[in-house]
Amino acid sequence: MLAIRYQLYVLLAGIGFLLLQLEGANPLFIQVCFTVLYLVVGLFEARVARYRFLITPPGFFMAYSFLTIMAAGIWYFAADQKLNAQFIVSDASILRGTWYTLVATQVLWLAYYVVPDRPVIGLRPNSLRRIPLWFILVLVVVSMVSFLIAVWLNMYGYTADPAKVEYLSYLRFGVELGWLAIVLLVLFEFDHPRRRLFLHLLLVGYFLIGLFYGSKSTAVMPFVLTIVTLYISSRRVGWRYFLATALGIVVAFIIIEPFRILYGSGRNVGPVSSVAQLMELYLAAQDATKDMETNYGLAFLERMNYTVPLAKALEFADQTGYMHSEEWGLLAQSPLYGVIPRVIWPNKPQANFGVWASVNIFDLGEEATTSTGITPQGYAYLVARLPGVIVFFFLFGIIQKLVFNLLALNRVFLPFYLLILFNVSYPVSPWTFVAGTLQSLILLSPFLFLFAHWSRPSAKAVFSEARGARE
């Protein structure tokens, strides 16, 4: 199968490269052709997959890139968004970025299947039937307390101080324990009406908190996690969850976008630690945008369109000859960055490339504090051009498969796999990917040991099983 995959991918990448050489061709036609080639890759992998396509990190990456690169590129050309885009790039750069996405995805799949499907830790399959409700409640309490501490320390939402990073990763992990509680409720308690009601209350609670503090991820991610967990657990995903997620995304964007505009205007927001201050900030954001004719639907589509940022990164690299060579040193030391906490190593590098990109690639001014993403394939191109895309995505695929083998293939650890699936599936840069994955596994290790302990059969169960075998 590996040989067939390799031959197919070489053929598709070659066809894509030839399409790039067509002079005077309609860019929309070329983009549609690239999308068809991309779908061929997806259909092939879905056909031969041993597990559900979207629970694999490359499958998740493909789905997300389909929306933000392939479909977004078709919309960009079909709706003639060139003059409406925030940054002006050539059609050729858009198409090159799409081709690099196709190649990156193929390399990701090839690397993913280099590592065989083999659980890292052998545990009894499906041996964990229930999770104590008190444990889920503790996760929710820790999540809420972490959130309040982060707000109090001015580390959360658009009012966060980007210089305060000492305990940010730990507080963020504490907040995400509430997401773990949601996953556990779906996996183990979804069929219980009252527990399902508790799940729905948690979803509403996190949505309101996310709206209040200007964090779209806090507002929407629990809904997405619920759908993904239902999908992976082979339960029927009701249309109400899709509708609630879609409405949540729209409402969160409409309410939080004025915060982003106010924050991006360079206004000194200052610390916010009370309800009254948050209301004042919200009113200021509404006042700052009241005279703007903002099409929130168009703004949302533009935010989901990564073809332009990717093309801008390619043009920056080609026009300036810039090579982000410091990545190699950071990658070499990334295991240490993941293992040693910032409390011990205060001068550990910060993951602030997005701010650097805002200043240097997108010319947003020296005072810019917002982070602008250029996609992992754009970052890889900035480091070492096409060889960088191949090397880095091969590394991504290997690590993704190791995480899949450790967590997803051990059903006991499946909740933790779902918790980090999004971060594992869509890396930003190689060194942050390695460091972040190691840090997540270290933070999760106490829970892994606890769940492994809970999954062990009791002495009574072992005795009963042995007696049944004798009989």
* 171: CB partners within 8 A, 6+ apart: 146, 147, 149, 150, 153, 155, 156
Is 158 a residue whose pLDDT tops 60?
Answer: no
- Which amino acid makes up residue 158? Y
Higher-confidence position of 129 and 181: 181
Question: Are the CB atoms for 227 and 241 separated by under 8 Å?
Answer: yes
CA–CA separation, 195 and 315 (whole Å): 52
- pLDDT (average), residues 164-190: 84
User: Where on the phi/psi map is residue 349: left (φ > 0), alpha (ψ -120 to 50), or beta?
Assistant: beta
Q: What angle do CA 146, 148, 154 make, to 5 degrees?
A: 100
- How far is the CA of 131 from the CAs of 188, 189, 453, in angstroms? 7, 9, 12
Confidence at residue 464, expressed as pLDDT on a 0 to 100 scale:
45
- pLDDT 10s digits, 30-60: 999 999 999 999 999 999 988 888 889 999 9
- pLDDT 10s digits, 357-410: 999 999 887 777 678 889 999 999 999 999 999 999 999 999 999 999 999 888
pLDDT confidence band for 321 (50 / 70 / 90): very high
CA–CA separation, 258 and 291 (whole Å): 12
Q: How many CB atoms lie within 10 A of CB 138?
A: 13
Question: Are the CB atoms for 69 and 101 separated by under 8 Å?
Answer: yes
Q: List the single range of 93-97, 310-314, 423-427, 452-456 with lowest mean pLDDT.
A: 452-456
- How far is the CA of 245 from the CAs of 143, 252, 451, in angstroms? 21, 10, 30
Question: Are the CB atoms for 260 and 158 separated by under 8 Å?
Answer: yes
Question: Are the CB atoms for 217 and 261 separated by under 8 Å?
Answer: no
Higher-confidence position of 214 and 173: 173
- Which amino acid makes up residue 2? L
Confidence at residue 470, expressed as pLDDT on a 0 to 100 scale:
45
Question: Are the CB atoms for 173 and 139 separated by under 8 Å?
Answer: no
Q: How many CB atoms lie within 10 A of CB 10?
A: 11
CA–CA separation, 392 and 173 (whole Å): 26
- pLDDT 10s digits, 57-70: 999 999 999 999 99
Confidence at residue 409, expressed as pLDDT on a 0 to 100 scale:
87
Confidence at residue 109, expressed as pLDDT on a 0 to 100 scale:
97
- pLDDT 10s digits, 113-153: 999 988 876 555 445 677 888 999 999 999 988 888 877 77
pLDDT confidence band for 29 (50 / 70 / 90): very high
pTM: 0.88
Cα dihedral sign, 64-68-74-78:
positive
Is 257 a residue whose pLDDT tops 90?
Answer: no
CA–CA separation, 395 and 334 (whole Å): 13
The two three-digit tokens of residue 434, written as one number: 């390695």
Cα dihedral sign, 253-254-256-260:
positive
The two three-digit tokens of residue 334, written as one number: 């990334």
- pLDDT (average), residues 435-456: 89
- How far is the CA of 16 from the CAs of 70, 305, 450, in angstroms? 13, 21, 49
CA–CA separation, 460 and 466 (whole Å): 10
CA–CA separation, 179 and 227 (whole Å): 12
Domain boundaries, the chain: 1-114+307-440, 127-305
- pLDDT (average), residues 162-178: 76
CA–CA separation, 275 and 89 (whole Å): 42
